[in-house]
Amino acid sequence: MDELSLLARSLPDAPRPSDEVVEKARARLSAAMDQPPGRRHARRGWTRGYRGWTLSAAVATVVVVTAVVTLVSNLAAVPVPVVVPAGGNDALLRLADDVARLPDETGAYWRRPLLNNGLIRVRAGDETFNVLYSDRVDLWQPRDPREPVQVRQRREYTRPATPADERAWRAAGSPSVVQRVCTPGTRAKDCNPVRLRAKPSECVYTRGAEPGGVIGDRRLGKLTLADLAALPGDAARLRERLRTHWKSDRGGQSFEQFLSNSSALLQMPVRPAVRAAALRLLAGLPTTKVGGSIIDPLGRAGLAVTFVKSEGFSAQFGADDEVAERFTVILDPRTGTFLAEVSIAAESIEGLGKGAFMHYQAWAPEAGWTGDRPERPRGCKLSDRPIP
**How do beta strands 149-160 and 68-69 pair?**
unpaired
pLDDT at residue 12 in the model: 38
Q: What is the pLDDT of residue 335?
A: 96
Residue 388 lies in a domain: no
| Mean pLDDT of successive 10-residue stretches along the chain, which has 388 residues | 40 43 42 38 37 33 33 39 57 96 95 96 97 96 92 97 96 97 92 95 93 87 92 96 88 88 94 97 94 91 89 87 92 96 93 91 94 92 88
Beta bridge partner(s), residue 289: 306
Give CA–CA dist 354/325, Å, rounded. 9
| The model's pTM | 0.76
Q: Please tell me the predicted confidence (pLDDT) of residue 252.
A: 83
d(CA 238, CA 258): 13
161 located within any domain:
yes
The bridge status of strand 381-382 relative to strand 201-208 is parallel
Q: Would you say the C-alpha torsion 37, 129, 298, 376 has a positive or negative sign?
A: negative
Instruction: Kindly state the DSSP code that residue 349 receives in the 8-state scheme.
Output: B
The C-alpha atoms of residue 4 and residue 228 are separated, in whole angstroms, by 27
CB 193 within 8 A of CB 178: yes
Contacts of 360 (CB under 8 A, 6+ apart): 71, 115, 116, 117, 118, 297, 340, 341, 342, 343
For 319, residues 6+ apart whose C-beta sits below 8 A from its C-beta are 121, 181, 182, 183, 184, 350
Q: What is the pLDDT of residues 117-154, one digit of tens each?
A: 999 999 999 999 999 999 999 999 999 988 999 999 99
Q: How many helices and strands, by DSSP H and E, does the chain display?
A: 8, 16
Q: Can you give the pLDDT at residue 15?
A: 41
* 387 inside domain: no
pLDDT of residue 33: 35
Burial class of residue 49 (count of CB atoms within 10 Å of its CB; 0-12, 13-18, 19+):
buried
**Number of domains forming the structure of the chain:** 1
What pLDDT does residue 87 have?
61
Enclosing domain of residue 314: 3-382
